[in-house]
A and B are shown apart, each in its own frame.
Chain A
């Protein structure tokens, strides 16, 4: 290859190179994995951190936003685990099987691994890489290939994460809740990588929470590779909560097989700068998918959702609905691209993004795109942004509801429209409770 290596410029880029040189030998995995890391890091060195002239990163200029690169997190000590135990008491109402990672490291003693249902295996990415698990090596990085630099950095530095498999036909009674807690004393960077394979006809619900106990100081790069097998029914809900990081970059790489049902939901209230990337590819016909999300941002929070839904085959239906509620100087970005390939006839894809601006200084950037190469499809997109409807507010207030309560009701209704896409009633209620708490904290 005759690629010009771009000179590394920023402090963060330099620190990343220093960090990589220092830790690469200690990162888990034998020669094949090391080669994967080196190649990925080379990709980063070639491109540098993504910046505003890279179209996909136009609104989230990592080169400018990332002042430095924090050192890699230390393995959690007892104090960190104690802090994690407190922070992870979220969503207890859904009675999920909890799998906990503290500062990027699997914490089996905090996890619920007893009585695994038939067909369910749960393991650690670090252990799988270290032992050269052939199943893992065969699939890692193979579902979706991307040259995205954030993913490359994740591959270069990946430490731990979950490796989950739900065997053909298995139906999990309880949701699995992956809890990633940032609990270190000093600001650190955490690279987690998970691989989840839901095989043919299986049913699983996966919740992923990113939270912290020490405020938003950390830099998190999380990646999840998800295979939804033929006729499988999978829900994935990612919650980016308080303490998710000063910089939180997350990538979902998912393939969805034939006649499957797939429901994705992103719920974001935390993090200072959040980037959620979703690369979803339909690989089998007759599938129905919902890809939705809600972000509630205040202060100077910035949350970017960048979605590529790739209808590579015919006869799939997808609904994309993203809502953001923006207070203070909060800023939301939605870049959604639906690709309909030449043979993907009868695709039915509709994308909508709505922003509610609660202050004059809030900002919403919406960039929906359709790339359609087939000629017999139904596709559309819509984007709106605005403030609360004065007439609706008057109607509520004329019934005796004070202004702040009336606003809260309308905001809940606005967010609720997206949250309704989640099938699990308990989780819907838990998220709406978080919306109510967010609104209460606003006053």
Chain B
């Protein structure tokens, strides 16, 4: 069974069709890149998988371990092991990062029937991961993402991903706004999490990120559908030719 199966997915936002019969199957342990021009539906796919309201699914199914998750609330999907790394992580003044992380982790554990993590064990785990990502303790004491640079926000997303240990990680344009050093730190963080049990959907506009997070499969998304699927060489090809031909193909 595939970890994730998206079947004939049609999605509207404000009455406008964004996804038009999207099909996607992802097995455990694999990294799939989804590339496409602006407006092709990349971020919509990410948000629909995570369960954001305002995205209306008019047809199709999204199966996680064979179970349709479209009726589940975002927090229920997260507890089942789905994680979305946001393109624009939000700032939450007044909610300390540590409180946020602990609340999230324990809420998921509770829903899965696991015991809550005790504070010393939790702090130990945060320190292990944050050290590798270059996130200092002062940042963790501040409000979530408050006063963080673009790169720090993305590193914080990876920190959350590492702590929550999801099985399906959806990265929505994680490379946007990152300089080359930050891109390396973030990519290394992602690569450390690669495992035979975990799969990644890496959504990106540019091939650059895929030099660091090397995909097993590359899909091209255009006008709400996957129009081409290939190996990692496809990303390089796109870098050379651009998206123009795919715009025409889907038309």
Q: Is A395 in contact with B90, judged by CB distance below 8 angstroms?
A: yes
Q: Is B95 in contact with A398, judged by CB distance below 8 angstroms?
A: no
- Considering only residues 402-426 of chain A, those with a C-beta below 8 Å from chain B are 402-403, 405-406, 409-410, 412-414, 416-417
- Considering only residues 57-80 of chain B, those with a C-beta below 8 Å from chain A are 73-75, 77-79
In Å, the complex CA distance between A399 and B84 comes to: 8
Q: Is A402 in contact with B75, judged by CB distance below 8 angstroms?
A: yes
Which residue in A392, A409, A413 is a CB contact (below 8 Å) of B90? A392
Residues of A close to B53: CB separation below 8 A: 390, 394
A400 contacts the other chain (Cβ, under 8 Å)? yes
Residues of A close to B108: CB separation below 8 A: 400
Q: Is A399 in contact with B95, judged by CB distance below 8 angstroms?
A: no
In Å, the complex CA distance between A396 and B160 comes to: 11
Residues of A close to B94: CB separation below 8 A: 412-414, 416-417
Once A410-B95, A413-B143 are accepted as A-B contacts, the answer to whether A400 and B164 lie under 8 Å apart by CB is yes
B93 contacts the other chain (Cβ, under 8 Å)? yes
| Chain B 195-217: CB-based contact to A (< 8 A → 1; otherwise 0) | 00000000000000000000000
Q: Is B164 in contact with A395, judged by CB distance below 8 angstroms?
A: no
A397 contacts the other chain (Cβ, under 8 Å)? yes
Residues of A close to B107: CB separation below 8 A: 400-402, 405
A391 contacts the other chain (Cβ, under 8 Å)? yes
Once A410-B92, A412-B94, A413-B93 are accepted as A-B contacts, the answer to whether A397 and B73 lie under 8 Å apart by CB is yes
Residues of B close to A400: CB separation below 8 A: 75, 78-79, 104-105, 107-108, 111, 164
Once A394-B52, A394-B74, A413-B143 are accepted as A-B contacts, the answer to whether A401 and B92 lie under 8 Å apart by CB is no
B25 contacts the other chain (Cβ, under 8 Å)? no
In Å, the complex CA distance between A399 and B95 comes to: 14
B38 contacts the other chain (Cβ, under 8 Å)? no
Residues of B close to A392: CB separation below 8 A: 90, 92
In Å, the complex CA distance between A410 and B92 comes to: 8
CB distance from A267 to the nearest CB of B (A): 16
Residue in A392, A413, A417 with the greatest tally of chain B CB atoms within 10 Å: A413
For chain B, the count of residues having a C-beta within 8 Å of the partner chain is 30
Once A392-B92, A413-B143, A417-B94 are accepted as A-B contacts, the answer to whether A399 and B73 lie under 8 Å apart by CB is no
| Chain A 212-225: CB-based contact to B (< 8 A → 1; otherwise 0) | 00000000000000
In Å, the complex CA distance between A414 and B143 comes to: 12
Q: Is B78 in contact with A413, judged by CB distance below 8 angstroms?
A: no
B78's nearest neighbour on chain A, judged by CB, is A400
Residues of B close to A394: CB separation below 8 A: 50, 52-53, 74
In Å, the complex CA distance between A398 and B107 comes to: 11
B86 contacts the other chain (Cβ, under 8 Å)? yes
CB distance from A222 to the nearest CB of B (A): 31
Residues of B close to A405: CB separation below 8 A: 103, 107
Residues of B close to A390: CB separation below 8 A: 53
In Å, the complex CA distance between A403 and B74 comes to: 9
Q: Is B90 in contact with A391, judged by CB distance below 8 angstroms?
A: yes
In Å, the complex CA distance between A413 and B94 comes to: 4
Residues of A close to B99: CB separation below 8 A: 409
Residues of B close to A414: CB separation below 8 A: 94
| Chain B 78-91: CB-based contact to A (< 8 A → 1; otherwise 0) | 11000110100110
Residues of A close to B75: CB separation below 8 A: 397-403, 406
A413's nearest neighbour on chain B, judged by CB, is B94
B224 contacts the other chain (Cβ, under 8 Å)? no
In Å, the complex CA distance between A409 and B99 comes to: 9
6 new A-B contacts at CB < 8 Å, known A400-B105, A405-B107: A396-B100, A397-B73, A397-B78, A399-B104, A409-B95, A412-B95
The interface of chain A, by Cβ under 8 A from chain B, is: 390-392, 394-403, 405-406, 409-410, 412-414, 416-417
28 A-B pairs in the complex with CB atoms less than 8 angstroms apart? A391-B90, A394-B53, A395-B89, A396-B100, A397-B74, A398-B50, A398-B51, A398-B74, A398-B77, A399-B75, A399-B160, A400-B75, A400-B104, A400-B111, A401-B75, A402-B75, A403-B73, A405-B103, A409-B103, A410-B95, A412-B94, A413-B92, A413-B93, A413-B94, A414-B94, A416-B94, A417-B93, A417-B94
Listed from nearest, the 4 A-B pairs whose CB atoms lie closest are: A413-B94, A400-B78, A400-B108, A399-B104
